Amino acid sequence: MTDNAKFQVPGKDGEYPVLEGSVGPKVVDIRKFYADTGMFTYDPGFTSTASCDSGLTYIDGGEGVLLHRGYPIGQLAEQSSFMEVAYLLLNKELPSKDELDKFMWTITRHTMVHEQLATFFRGFRRDAHPMAIMCGAVGAMSAFYHDSTDITDPQQRMIASHRLIAKMPTIAAMAYKYSIGQPFLYPDNDLSYTGNFLRMTFGVPAEKYEVDPVIEKALDRIFILHADHEQNASTSTVRLAGSSGANPFACIAAGIACLWGPAHGGANEAALNMLREIGTPERIPEYIARAKNKDDPFRLMGFGHRVYKNYDPRATVMQQTVREVFKAMDVKDPVFDVALQLEEIALNDDYFVEKKLFPNVDFYSGVVLSAIGFPTAMFTALFALARTVGWVAQWNEMISDPAQKIGRPRQLYTGPTQRDYVALDKR
């Protein structure tokens, strides 16, 4: 039993229950704080605020721990598959062989998109960013699939979730094909989830596409590493959009919009661009100096994290994946050497040590995705594809919670106080 937390607010002292999760920091339940004191709490960026309770993902940023339903990310990345992790996140437990086969069969049966959706793509400019297309195409899906939008029905919620997980690779591959002027490829359901995506992206109708098992495994692992990450900005966006009862496809489009930003999912693209710009190890000190200069807005992309104040455990697996892909494909990209040396220099620099800035998952993901053949503009689209699993799992968890309410933060108002309207000719 934990003692209540006591707040001393002038004139009104209050006591609030302290809640304990299964692991992690305790949480002060301040839901009655406003009613008791007439005050709001102030926490821009939610650095100290838990917005929900969740049984999906646990992060200990200080120790560099990431668990999905209790399983460490390193073990999942090494031993499971993206489909298994998707099942785990949605259904709380790892699947049996039969359950996994059935789940994969179900996902495979939803891989095609409505034929009408292809016409949406043709409305975009050929040079549109794939994330702009993903945002539009996934949002447009809310105008199809009316048989899975009664969010009060768990069965319909699950069908919408399966559809989103299954169709995201098709949509991401279509966004890529459109940008390079090649025809769209229909899914091939004899292939794995990841193999099918590789074929839809890099195959052409004129030739048979052979999926390289090393690349397939590496990409599947990259998807696992991006599957979920607790209440990050895009997941919170999906939850907030969904809290009003909105259409699930529209909620995921909102998540894609948030993920696009360079401080979030756009960081892998920005990190690779930065590594390419640095070009040679000799130029690293110049960029380290810029990152430390308060008057320079430059930041070392792929470094630092709101939650991890230690090595991001996903970065460790990602670095290993780069080595495997480079070996299998016999790639020697100097950008990887720049990344390794930059990491070493930064990790020994007082500025980065004091601020606990370590490489995050994005630091190496761009290097490996580029080696596989993805253009930088596709990186965040791949992230969105994988994170869809986390988004739909979190959305389902929220909707099925009987205590769920519409999300409605408060504010500290700093605008003008009430004043009278002045007619146009008097201003």
Query: For the chain, how are helix, strand and coil distributed in percent, rounded to 5?
Result: 55, 5, 40
The answer to the question of residue 302 lying near ligand ACO (CB under 6 A) is: yes
CB of 379 to ligand ACO, least distance (A): 11
Q: Which of 220, 228, 312, 362 is catalytic?
A: 362
Q: Position of tokens 């909707």?
A: 399
CB of 353 to ligand ACO, least distance (A): 12
Our CA angle for 397, 230, 201, nearest 5°, is: 90
The answer to the question of residue 357 lying near ligand ACO (CB under 6 A) is: yes
- Applying CB under 6 A, among 300, 317, 338, 389 the residue interacting with ligand ACO is 300
Token couple for 271: 């990190």
The answer to the question of residue 272 lying near ligand ACO (CB under 6 A) is: no
The answer to the question of residue 114 lying near ligand ACO (CB under 6 A) is: no
Residue 352: which residues within 8 A CB-CB, separation 6 or more? Answer: 300, 303, 346, 358
The answer to the question of residue 315 lying near ligand ACO (CB under 6 A) is: no
Cβ–Cβ under 8 Å, residues 317 and 77: yes
The answer to the question of residue 342 lying near ligand ACO (CB under 6 A) is: no
Residue 264: which residues within 8 A CB-CB, separation 6 or more? Answer: 232, 233, 234, 258
* Chain residue at closest Cβ approach to ligand ACO: 304
User: Per-residue b/e over 263-287, b at no fewer than 16 CB within 10 Å?
Assistant: ebbbbbbbbbebbbebeeeeebeeb
The answer to the question of residue 362 lying near ligand ACO (CB under 6 A) is: yes
The answer to the question of residue 225 lying near ligand ACO (CB under 6 A) is: no
Residue 356: which residues within 8 A CB-CB, separation 6 or more? Answer: 309, 310
Q: Which of 110, 229, 305, 312 is catalytic?
A: 305
CB of 301 to ligand ACO, least distance (A): 5
Stretch that binds ligand ACO, among 8-16, 66-74, 118-126, 304-312 (CB under 6 A): 304-312
> Which positions touch ligand ACO (CB under 6 A)?
263-265, 267, 291, 299-306, 355, 357, 360-362
Give the residue numbers annotated as catalytic, written as ranges: 305, 362
